[in-house]
Amino acid sequence: MSSSTRHLATTATQEASDEAVQSTVDVNQFDHLDPVAPDHSTAPFTDTCNLTLSSGPGGHGCISFLREKYIANGPPNGGDGGTGGNVYIQAVQGETSLHKIARRGVLKAGRGKNGQGSLRGGARGEDVVLSVPVGTVVREVWRRDPVAEEIEAGSRGAKGYGQDIRRDREREDNVMRRDRERDDDDLDNDDIDGDAEGGTDQSGKWHRDKWLLYPGALPKSFTSADFPSLPRPRRSNLVATAVQAPIRLDLSTPTTSPILLAAGAMGGLGNPHFVTKSVHKPKYATKGDEGTRINLLLELKLLADVGLVGAPNAGKSTLLRALTRSRTRVGSWAFTTLAPSVGTVVLDSYRGRPTDLTQPSTSSRRGRTHFTIADIPGLVSDAHLDRGLGLGFLRHVERAGVLAFVIDLSAGDPVAALKGLWREVGMFELMRAEERMEKSTSDSDLGVRAGRGEGEDAGKGRGEMKDDAMVPFKPFESSISPSLDPEHHDPSSSPPAVPTTPDYDSPPPTFTALPALVLPPISSKPWFVVATKADLPETQEAFRAVQAYLEDVRTGREGHPSGKAGAWVRGLRAVPVCAMRKEGCEGVLEVMRGLLPG
Ligand SMILES: Nc1nc2c(ncn2[C@@H]2O[C@H](COP(=O)(O)OP(=O)(O)OP(=O)(O)O)[C@@H](O)[C@H]2O)c(=O)[nH]1
Ligand SMILES: [Mg+2]
């Protein structure tokens, strides 16, 4: 059978099955709110992920000499290596999941190109932009910055130019004196220590990781050569605009321009940089620096004004579809919804004359033209013991301003159902608090975020840093981190535990000292009850029971279902709806609007 025939056959079967569905399902005017099974989307969803990103390493400097007609042995003209690519982050609208990033795991910017002859500098490495959904919280887990480590270890002339130049001059004088002696005594060079490997730059020897040698030269000429001291570590100017370490960003609004997380490393220097009085034709150049590696923890918290909390099959998704133009999946079985989704309620449809033109422009109501509602998978009892889909999805309503508890009036005791939901919410809060406690104790235990590119910042910063130090990003208020500033030295801080010669091959540090985002307790949020399926028979009794219970809670005769003191009870009420017929939805929107600020 040809592919076209097969296609026709499949279409025919599909049509037949569609007809069958149509004949069994009564398609009435509510089919949008009570759709048939195939109406669903199964986009993958991930709300936390770990990502390692690295800025691009610099290209190597070039060793080259001018060769032209009549200039057989010209001056050095090797270009510098290009700077490595930068890594940016951007919060974009339209993305709703971290699954693409989670699958990727690693993000690397491009390496700078090597310098070339005729003083041609290497091209810059390619930048990369990490696009995350709006509502992502970014936290740094660890960081490896070889250049910062070198600055801290003081292994590369970090003591200041003056000293470097003096030392170079002394070295030059020594070289000239040695050359003179060599001429006089006609000595060969065999007695000069030929330890070419592992020699530090301070002793003027070849440092394999840092220097690049002229390929045509004989090893003897290097073992006897006196290398200049390595140039001071250089940093791209962009470092000053990068987010200060440790990175903690709350990307709750779309970012207009990408935010720099890690600037590319500088390229190596070409051989013309090493011309001195005694060495006219240096046969060496420096290699490019290593890029910065940063491990980040990304957590997506969907941003919605109202969060729907309810048991599976309570009718949350149907309610969302009735209130908004959302097309979330609805089904008559538990766990139809497997990933959170957000719908938008448009308050001003921009049709006709705006109603509030007569209001003064300072009116607080003027600003809000819409609000958003988040639907999450249902909560079963003992969800905190990881039953059902667990409590993880509650993080998406954690930041909501108002909670709507969706109770199915036809499913047993509604008051018990409401208390059960509050119990799970309470357990979720407890778990978050414990997490926070663990983190803060591990923070103080570790004390040494240190050393690895954090340096002095870690020594003194951790103590001062508050848990809620999460700040929205402000590009030009960020300054160079003290640990990255070669001039910065804080005598009060203990010396960081850094090996003198950084060992780049060792595995990265594994501590996970992350401050948690502190939010107001969920029990302090305004909440109300949406009593759904009110169209079903014998639900009036159940609704009256909920109403009476909420009245008791409001007046203080009953305790708050969360069991917390000072919880929100002021305007507590229940709204009956039949979401499937879109009945009572105006009442729900009115209550939501009333409880939302602004
Ligand atoms: N009679 C009646 N049925 C409703 C109403 N609202 C929802 N339903 C039905 O209840 C079933 C479950 O609806 P969903 O909206 O998928 O429930 P859910 O709370 O999102 O369920 P999960 O996603 O599994 O947590 C569906 O068969 C709906 O048709 C209502 O107001 N009246
Ligand atoms: Mg659902």
Six token digits for residue 57: 């390493």
What is the structure's pLDDT at 54? 93
Q: What is the DSSP letter of 597?
A: -
What is the structure's pLDDT at 113? 92
Cα separation, 399 vs 252, whole angstroms: 11
Contact (Cβ atoms closer than 8 angstroms) between residue 370 and residue 347: yes
Q: Confirm or reject: Cβ of 337 under 6 Å from ligand 1.
A: yes
Q: Which of 25, 41, 318, 375 to mutate to test the pocket of ligand 1 (most atoms within 8 A of CB)?
A: 318
Q: Confirm or reject: Cβ of 318 under 6 Å from ligand 1.
A: yes
Phi, psi of 360 (to 5 degrees): -65, 150
Mean pLDDT by 10 residues, the chain (598 residues): 43 48 52 62 69 92 90 89 93 82 88 91 92 87 86 59 48 58 44 34 61 74 68 82 84 87 91 85 87 90 84 89 81 77 75 51 53 84 72 77 90 88 86 69 46 37 41 45 40 39 46 52 87 86 89 86 82 88 87 83
Query: Residue 244: which of 16, 528, 471, 47 has the closest Cα?
Result: 471
The DSSP-derived string for 398-453 is TT-SEEEEEEETTSS-HHHHHHHHHHHHHHHHHHHHHHHHHHHHHHHHH---TTSS
Say how many domains are in the chain: 2
Beta bridge partners of 594: none
Q: Confirm or reject: Cβ of 396 under 6 Å from ligand 1.
A: no
What is the structure's pLDDT at 263? 92
Clarify whether residues 268 and 149 are in a common domain. Answer: yes
pTM for the structure as a whole: 0.62
On whether residue 199 sits in a domain, the answer given is yes
The domain boundary residue, chosen from 269, 284, 300? 300
Clarify whether residues 69 and 113 are in a common domain. Answer: yes
Cα separation, 38 vs 25, whole angstroms: 13
CA dihedral 493, 498, 499, 504 (to 10 degrees): -160
On whether residue 176 sits in a domain, the answer given is yes
On whether residue 459 sits in a domain, the answer given is no
Clarify whether residues 251 and 332 are in a common domain. Answer: no
Residue 81 is part of a domain; what is its CATH number? 2.70.210.12
Cα separation, 259 vs 453, whole angstroms: 20
Q: Confirm or reject: Cβ of 317 under 6 Å from ligand 1.
A: yes
Clarify whether residues 218 and 253 are in a common domain. Answer: yes
What is the structure's pLDDT at 382? 75
Six token digits for residue 586: 């105006």
On whether residue 39 sits in a domain, the answer given is no
Q: From the alpha carbon of 338, which atom of ligand 1 is closest?
A: 23
* Domain span at 68: 48-300
On whether residue 589 sits in a domain, the answer given is yes
Clarify whether residues 249 and 396 are in a common domain. Answer: no
Residue 576 is part of a domain; what is its CATH number? 3.40.50.300
Q: Confirm or reject: Cβ of 576 under 6 Å from ligand 1.
A: no
Clarify whether residues 377 and 419 are in a common domain. Answer: yes
Beta bridge partners of 89: 130, 259
CB atoms within 10 A of CB 120: 17
Q: Label the pairing between strands 136-144 and 293-300.
A: antiparallel
User: Ligand 2 centroid vs 313 CA: distance in angstroms?
Assistant: 7
On whether residue 453 sits in a domain, the answer given is no
CB atoms within 10 A of CB 359: 12
Cα separation, 22 vs 327, whole angstroms: 20
Clarify whether residues 160 and 207 are in a common domain. Answer: yes
On whether residue 471 sits in a domain, the answer given is no
Q: Confirm or reject: Cβ of 315 under 6 Å from ligand 1.
A: yes
Query: Residue 456: which of 148, 235, 146, 156 has the closest Cα?
Result: 148
Clarify whether residues 158 and 72 are in a common domain. Answer: yes
Cα separation, 414 vs 257, whole angstroms: 49
Clarify whether residues 104 and 188 are in a common domain. Answer: yes
Clarify whether residues 260 and 180 are in a common domain. Answer: yes
Q: Label the pairing between strands 284-286 and 211-213.
A: antiparallel
Contact (Cβ atoms closer than 8 angstroms) between residue 561 and residue 553: yes
Six token digits for residue 299: 């957590």
On whether residue 292 sits in a domain, the answer given is yes
Encode burial over 511-541: b for 16+ CB neighbours within 10 A, e otherwise. Answer: bbbbbbbeeeebbebbbbbbbbbbbeeebee
CB atoms within 10 A of CB 175: 17
**What stretch of H or E contains 341?**
strand 341-346
Clarify whether residues 220 and 332 are in a common domain. Answer: no
Cα separation, 223 vs 497, whole angstroms: 33
Clarify whether residues 340 and 371 are in a common domain. Answer: yes
Q: Which of 31, 317, 539 to mutate to test the pocket of ligand 1 (most atoms within 8 A of CB)?
A: 317
What is the widest separation between alpha-carbon atoms in the chain? 115
What is the structure's pLDDT at 357? 46
